[in-house]
Amino acid sequence: MSGTHNFDCNNMVSQIKSDNLNFLNKQVTQWREVINKKFTHDQKPHTTILFGGMTILQDKLVSVALQSLGERYVCLPNADFEAFQIGKAYGNKAQCNPTYFTVGNLIKYLQNLRDKDGLSTKEIIDNYIYVTSGGCGPCRFGMYLTEYRKALRDAGFEGFRVMNFEHDKGVFQSAEEQSALDFTPKFFITLTKAIVIGDLLNILGYKLRPYEIKKGSVDQALKKCEEIVAQAFIQKRSLIKALYKCKKELSLIKLDRTIQKPKVLITGEFWAALTEGDGNYNLHRFLESQGAECVPQPLINRLMLSLWEAKDELEQVHILENRSAKGIDFSALKSRFLIFVGKWALIAHIKLYSKALGLHDYEIPNMEKLAKLAQEYYPMQSRGGEAHLEVAHLLESIKENIAHLVISVKPFGCMPSSSVSDGIQSLVLSHFPEANFLSVETSGEGAVNFYSRVQMALFKAKQLAQEEFKSLKIPDKIPPKINKYTYQPKGKSAGSAAVLMESIS
Ligand code: SF4
């Protein structure tokens, strides 16, 4: 060392040696997260249970549905870019952006309680808890809860309770997980009903909005439907009757369904494909503004996938452990029975509700069929995220001509979606070069790049839709039934208008 710095090299080396010795002499122990999960029955009357992260409509319906059970559930507002920035400020580096959005959204809400509503930090910690789904996924999903607690601690809410139910366990939560939260079968059945109704109303919204004559009329009708369903939950009245009322509301919307539009199937990582806001740069509304019709990814898909995975796991364990040689396995039989009952109860509700809403052409995802489609390309034991579903959806769309464009949207660096599925999709595309497929990542920033890539793929989708329409014989007289949303014929074309024309030509 030279110059003006007064640097004693020998002294520094001996200091490092002594630090290292001190470190080695210390007993190194495993770091353990201190988790506050205490939520007792006497705390229940004054505790508000926060949750969120589904579509806007579903969050609202779920909160009223659970309030009808006497629970104080409140949904957080839709996560926006500000929430994302808060999540980044307090979160670990290199997390997936659903964590940044959802963690930041919770912190933003708590900060508002403190800074705008004047609650003290202690009051917030004592009187609020947050419930989310967790699980030991093979991707970063397994770390979400720790991430919530870390960010909350750094944001000044140390000890704030984050509780979870495991998304793949359903009603089979452990006693400790249940605490005063009442994760009972009734809770899950009510939750599922609200989720399914939310899904079906959302699907109808995406089906009708591109063809509305008066701008905003579909959203207005959906708002009324939300109110009708919410009242049915609160007053414990028939949900089926409420949905028939919704059908009447939706029937009043004036539509022009003869406009040919490209149909875009949205798939990808669960949250990125589902959310309706900055989390995916408002992908659905952006596509609609560019003249497309979206086929969204409902939460029903995730529920059906969880049931399929649970059944498949049982079968794999049965084979691996050669259980048939060990006699009757009663516990596996019981699990199979419960999965069977859960699946058919879910299907029955979807069928009943979609019929009441006039959504006749909705096909409940057939997990066996999708698994068969994917297995040629996808290692089926590989789990996490949407597992084989992204590959299966693309193959289904190609083989059954479902859409003019398939967009797979995922957070930047998503392990199951970017690293596994997208790798496999390139093989699928090499076998089906005619497919119009776009895989696009979201990072929270970079919207311009995202939109430009979507627009380029959409350009091709528009051309495909035009060619398809031109190849059809359009009758001179269009019957009025065409513009009734309950008229939903099946056809060979992908575009909605083209299918309608097929049905009358
Ligand atoms: S699926 Fe992807 S985005 Fe979701 S938690 Fe896993 S790695 Fe993150």
The better pLDDT of the pair 138, 113 is held by: 113
Please give the model's pTM, rounded to 2 decimal places. Answer: 0.89
Q: Please give the distance, rounded to the nearest whole angstrom, from the Cα atom of residue 269 to the centre of ligand 1.
A: 7
Sign of CA dihedral 141, 143, 146, 148: negative
Which range among 33-42, 135-144, 222-231, 450-459 shows the weakest confidence by mean pLDDT?
A: 135-144
pLDDT at position 177 over 60: no
Instruction: Tell me the pairing of strands 161-166 and 263-268.
Output: unpaired
What local confidence, expressed as pLDDT, does residue 35 receive? 80
The domain defined by 41-182 carries CATH number 3.60.21: no
Task: Kindly report, residue by residue over 312-330, the tens digit of the pLDDT.
Answer: 988 888 788 777 777 777 8
Q: Please give the distance, rounded to the nearest whole angstrom, from the Cα atom of residue 286 to the centre of ligand 1.
A: 23
Q: Is 469 in the pocket of ligand 1 (CB under 6 A)?
A: no
Q: Please give the distance, rounded to the nearest whole angstrom, from the Cα atom of residue 454 to the centre of ligand 1.
A: 22
Mean pLDDT of all residues in 194-202:
98
- The Cβ of residue 137 has, within 10 Å, a number of other Cβ atoms equal to 18
Q: Please give the distance, rounded to the nearest whole angstrom, from the Cα atom of residue 421 to the centre of ligand 1.
A: 12
How is 30-59 classified by DSSP, letter by letter?
-----------GGGGGG-EEEE--S-HHHH
Task: Kindly report, residue by residue over 16-70, the tens digit of the pLDDT.
Answer: 677 676 766 667 788 777 787 788 889 999 999 999 999 999 999 999 999 999 9
- The percentage of the chain sitting over the pLDDT mark of 70, rounded to a whole number, equals 92
**Minimum-distance ligand 1 atom for the alpha carbon of 97:** 3
Task: Kindly report, residue by residue over 420-433, the tens digit of the pLDDT.
Answer: 999 999 999 999 99
Mean pLDDT of all residues in 467-472:
92
Q: Is 98 in the pocket of ligand 1 (CB under 6 A)?
A: yes
Mean pLDDT of all residues in 97-102:
92
**Minimum-distance ligand 1 atom for the alpha carbon of 410:** 3
Residue 142 C-beta-side C-alpha neighbours within 13 Å: 8
Task: Kindly report, residue by residue over 110-119, the tens digit of the pLDDT.
Answer: 999 999 999 9
pLDDT at position 434 over 90: yes
Q: Is 342 in the pocket of ligand 1 (CB under 6 A)?
A: no
**Minimum-distance ligand 1 atom for the alpha carbon of 415:** 7
Asked whether the beta carbons of 370 and 396 are under 8 A apart, the reply is: yes
Q: Please give the distance, rounded to the nearest whole angstrom, from the Cα atom of residue 6 to the centre of ligand 1.
A: 50
pLDDT at position 175 over 60: no
pLDDT at position 176 over 80: no
Residue with tokens 């609200």: 194
What local confidence, expressed as pLDDT, does residue 166 receive? 62
Q: Is 414 in the pocket of ligand 1 (CB under 6 A)?
A: yes
Task: Kindly report, residue by residue over 206-257, the tens digit of the pLDDT.
Answer: 999 999 999 999 999 999 999 999 999 999 999 999 999 999 999 999 999 9
Q: Is residue 446 very low, low, confident or very high in pLDDT (cuts 50, 70, 90)?
A: confident
pLDDT at position 2 over 50: no
The better pLDDT of the pair 192, 167 is held by: 192
pLDDT at position 502 over 80: yes
The better pLDDT of the pair 13, 250 is held by: 250
Q: Which of 140, 383, 388, 409 for a ligand 1 pocket mutation test, highest count of atoms within 8 Å of Cβ?
A: 140
Q: Which of 297, 414, 440 for a ligand 1 pocket mutation test, highest count of atoms within 8 Å of Cβ?
A: 414
Q: Is residue 201 very low, low, confident or very high in pLDDT (cuts 50, 70, 90)?
A: very high
Which range among 5-9, 259-263, 345-349 shows the weakest confidence by mean pLDDT?
A: 5-9
**Minimum-distance ligand 1 atom for the alpha carbon of 269:** 1
Q: Is 269 in the pocket of ligand 1 (CB under 6 A)?
A: yes
Q: Is 420 in the pocket of ligand 1 (CB under 6 A)?
A: no
What local confidence, expressed as pLDDT, does residue 103 receive? 96
What local confidence, expressed as pLDDT, does residue 4 receive? 44
Buried residues in 167-179 as b, exposed as e (16+ CB within 10 A): bbbbeebeeebeb
Q: What ranges make up the beta strands (E) of 210-331?
A: 263-268, 293-295
Domain ranges of the chain: 41-182
Q: Is 389 in the pocket of ligand 1 (CB under 6 A)?
A: no
What local confidence, expressed as pLDDT, does residue 279 receive? 94
User: What is the crossing angle of helices 330-357 and 185-208, to 10°?
Assistant: 40
pLDDT at position 197 over 90: yes
pLDDT at position 95 over 90: no
Q: Is 296 in the pocket of ligand 1 (CB under 6 A)?
A: no
Q: Which of 139, 164, 419, 422 for a ligand 1 pocket mutation test, highest count of atoms within 8 Å of Cβ?
A: 139
- The percentage of the chain sitting over the pLDDT mark of 90, rounded to a whole number, equals 72
**Angle CA 173–417–81, to nearest 5:** 85
The better pLDDT of the pair 175, 134 is held by: 134
pLDDT at position 167 over 70: no
**Minimum-distance ligand 1 atom for the alpha carbon of 98:** 3
Asked whether the beta carbons of 236 and 67 are under 8 A apart, the reply is: no
pLDDT at position 393 over 50: yes
Q: Is 385 in the pocket of ligand 1 (CB under 6 A)?
A: yes
Asked whether the beta carbons of 205 and 218 are under 8 A apart, the reply is: yes
Average pLDDT, the chain: 90
Closest Cα partner for 163 from 141, 178, 184? 178
Which range among 181-185, 418-422, 481-485 shows the weakest confidence by mean pLDDT?
A: 181-185
Q: Please give the distance, rounded to the nearest whole angstrom, from the Cα atom of residue 140 to the centre of ligand 1.
A: 6
